[in-house]
Every structure is written in structure tokens, then in C-alpha cells.
Amino acid sequence: MKSNKFEGSLDAFPSNVKRLDLSDNLLSGELPKTNGTNLTFTFVYLSKNRFTGNIPADLCKVPSIKVLDLSQNKLSGRLPECLGNLIYLEALDISNNTITGLVPSSLGSLIYLRTLHLHNNRFEGNLLHSLKNLTPLFTMDMGFNFLVGDLPFWIGESLLNLRFLNLQSNNFTGKIPLQFCQLNALQHLNLAQNNIFGTIPPCFANLSGMITNEADRAYETYDYVENILASMKGIQLICKEDSSSYNHVGKVEAQDEDEDFWLYIVMGIGFVVGFIGLLGSLHFIRSWRVAYFEMLENFYTSILVNLACLRRTCVS
């Protein structure tokens, strides 16, 4: 039911549904409460709608949830502390809302969490030390918030599986912790638009997983949730950062071919227009016509004279 134009409010969560996908619609109003219904959700996709209000604490009563995607809505209030009760949660995306307050320390209880997206909200305060327990995490996106304090050194000590780390556009201060040099799996690191000072640790050159080509930074548009689920099922993945680089090359080559094609077209049109313009001028302007044919006659005569002189020279 995703990617339609369903509108209005969602009065209740459907029961006996494992996968709820109403993303990319026009749904509005507050998210419904469970009202004691025994829900068995595993995947909940409600992104790209117009939901408002708080995230209901009732969702914490559905421990079977593995993926919770509420991104790109108009949700507000604080992130429920009880989300730490979703012990099987593997992907949490609350990005692009107006959630306020601290990042709950209870998220550190989500020991199976592999992707955490909280960017573009209004979170404030420090990143709490309890998040170091998220050792399977390979995506942490906290950009565009109001987080403060030093860059957490424990990220480099504990979250060794991180591939994507975005702390952009916060109020972090201090130097880059040397512990970040231990993030050997890291492929994308964004610390822009903070108050960080000092030098970049030389050991960053040894981060074997770090992407240096801008064209490969497709994690910014990477469909984390679907790829996580696929990888959990043992499906071989073709990551978008790989395919995007090939697509980028293909697009560039196609663009070059198109440019060559249009160059030849323009040259041909220019020749035709110029030739027609010359003929038109000679037809309508008598003085030009006389001068043009006199020039041709003089040119032809000079060629004949030169040929005659050359022949006479050869004979003598």
C-alpha cells in the first residue's frame, strides 16, 4: 500500500499483520495507539507521510518489531524512553521530524540494532555513554541536531562495525578522538559544521574502508533498512555505492555521446543556414552578386595563369 495517495488519519493499527508499509502517502493526524490489541508487527514503515504529534509509547508494547521507520513526517515531542524495550529492533529511523530532548539512554539496550537514523531533528545534550553497547551498529546518523560536548571517544572504542558515521551540523567541540582511528570498517565520516579544532589525526590515512571518491558516497542515499533485512536473510547484496559508481560512469559516457551528437547537429545546421544565407544574399543584392562572380572569375583566371607558367617552365 506504499507510494499511493491515501489520506486522512490512521485510526488503528491492523492486527495479524507482520509487515505494515504505508510509506509515501498523504496520511495525517496522530499515530494510533494499540488499545491493548495484540499486535505482531515485524516491519513498520510509515515514512513520508504527514503524521503529527508524539510517538506513542504503545509501540513499545510490540516487542516483535525489527524495523521501525517513522522518518519524514511532522512528529514532535520526545523519543519514548521505552523504545529500549524493543529488544529485537535492528533498524530505527526517526529522521526528518521535529523530535526534541535527549537521545534516550535506553537505546543502549537495543543490542541487535544495526542502523540508527536520528538526523534532522532537535535532539540536544550529549550522546550518552550507554550507546557504546550498540556494537553491531554499522550506521549512526545524528547529523543536523543540537548535540553538544566532545566527540564521543567511545564510538571508536566500541562501535568497530561502523561503516557510516554522520555527526554533521551539531555543536560538538574539542578535537577528533584518536580512538576514531580504530574504525577500520568506516566508509563515510562527516564531522562538518561543528566546533571541532586541532588537526586531523594522521592515522586517518590508514582507515582501509574510508571512501575517498565523492562519486562513491552513496550511503547518503542508501536504503539501509532493506539492505539490512536482505543481509539478515543471507541474500547477496549489490550495495548502491558500488552500482552508483558504475551508473555514474555510464551516465558520463552517455552524456559525452549526447554532446558529440548535438555538436554535429549544430554544425550541420550552421552550415546549411550559412549556405542558404549566402545564396539569398547573392540573389537579392545585385552588387554582392557581381562582386562574388568577379572574385570567382579572377580566382579561376589566376589558376589558369599559374598553370600556364608552370607548364612553360617544365617545357623549357
What crossing angle do the helices spanning 240-284 and 286-315 adopt, rounded to 10°? 100
Considering only 112-126, 132-146, 213-227, which range has the smallest mean pLDDT?
A: 213-227
Strand-strand pairing, 91-93 and 115-117: parallel
pLDDT single digits (tens) 56-68: 998 998 999 999 9
Structure confidence at residue 208 (pLDDT): 66
Q: With H, G, I as helix, E, B as strand and everything else as coil, classify residue 28.
A: strand
Cα 286 vs. chain centroid, distance in angstroms?
65
pLDDT of residue 79: 95
The Cα–Cα gap between 298 and 98 comes to 83
Above 80 in pLDDT, residue 113? yes
pLDDT tens, 257-272?
Answer: 555 666 677 777 877 7
Q: Provide, for the chain, the percentages of residues in helix, strand and coil under a 3-state DSSP scheme, each rounded to the nearest 5.
A: 40, 20, 40
Residue whose C-alpha cell is 510509515: 46
Distance CA 64, CA 34 (A): 14
- Cβ(167)–Cβ(192) below 8 Å: no
Q: What is the domain partition of the chain in residue ranges?
A: 7-238, 239-284, 287-316
Q: Which three cell numbers stand for residue 20?
A: 505494515
124 pLDDT above the threshold of 80: yes
Residue 314: per-residue pLDDT: 65
d(CA 205, CA 207) in angstroms, rounded, equals 6
Indicate the pLDDT class of residue 36, thresholds 50, 70 and 90. low
Average pLDDT of the residues of the chain: 80
CB 84 within 8 A of CB 109: yes
Residue 22: strand, helix, or coil:
coil
* Residue 29 to residue 53: CA distance in whole angstroms: 8
User: What CATH architecture is 7-238?
Assistant: Alpha-Beta Horseshoe (3.80)
- Asked if 33 and 9 count as a contact pair (C-beta separation under 8 A), the reply is no
Q: Are 126 and 147 in contact (CB under 8 A)?
A: yes
Q: What is the pLDDT of residues 179-229, one digit of tens each?
A: 999 999 998 999 999 999 988 888 877 776 664 443 344 444 344 444 444
